[in-house]
Amino acid sequence: MEFRVKEATQLQPENGGKFQITSYPQGIGYKTHTDCIEDNTDERDRMATILVYLQDVEDGGETKFPELGIWVKPRKGRALVWNNMNEDGKCEALSVHNAAKVNKGHKYILQRWYYYKNFYSLGKRPPEPELPVRASGTPRVNCDEYEKGSCRWYDEWNYEHLVDYRNQRINLK
């Protein structure tokens, strides 16, 4: 998939973060937001996003860009790519978007963020941490607190998990 994305968009795989699968059950959407941070001067901010719909949704679940008047209906295999930042490296206000609530069905997307600059840990697995063993092929699941229902599956331990695990160990002492 990285090759196809690079060929179609010129987005470099080495500047891409982890692929994530996000689940939106019936009745769940996601608030209006940007994938970049306003007034951020860090060149490691998310410059572009790719989102691929993994299945059709019977009703609802559109990706909406309200400032542009664009609504994209989820269709299996359809991919969206957009810039989050303008040519000056500033967060682009027109990139604001949301995920409409799923009225009927279940929405699954594959997404990946791309950054202006590659940085040391991007796309690299961290050193083996002192973590409980997780069975091969078992993803880590992170459920978003917004509207209590959107979940992401990660294919490896990530920084957030390591911090959570460390904090749990500290709190147990």
Residue with the larger pLDDT of the pair 5 and 101:
101
| Domain range summary for the chain, segments of one domain joined by + | 2-172
Map the chain to HEC letters. Answer: CHHHHHHHHCCCHHHECCCEEEEECCCCCEEEECCCCCCCCCCCCEEEEEEEECCCCCEECCEEECCCCEEECCCCCCEEEEECECCCCCECHHHCEEECCEEECCEEEEEEEEECCCCCCCCCCCCCCCCCCCCCCCCEEEECCCCCCCEEEECCCCHHHHHHHHHHHHHHC
pLDDT tier for residue 173 given thresholds of 50, 70 and 90? very low
Residue 160 has what pLDDT?
59
**Contacts (Cβ under 8 Å, ≥6 apart) of 91:** 34, 36, 37, 38, 39, 40, 45, 84, 85
Look up the CATH number of domain 2-172: 2.60.120.620
Query: What's the chain's Rg over C-alpha atoms?
Result: 17
pLDDT at position 172: 46
- Amino acid letter, residue 29: G
Asked if pLDDT for residue 84 goes beyond 90, the answer is: yes
**pTM of the predicted structure, to 2 decimals:** 0.71
pLDDT tens per residue, range 124-170? 655 666 666 666 666 666 565 555 556 666 555 455 555 665 565 44
Per residue in 20-66, pLDDT (tens digit) is 999 999 999 999 999 988 877 666 688 999 999 999 999 999 999 99
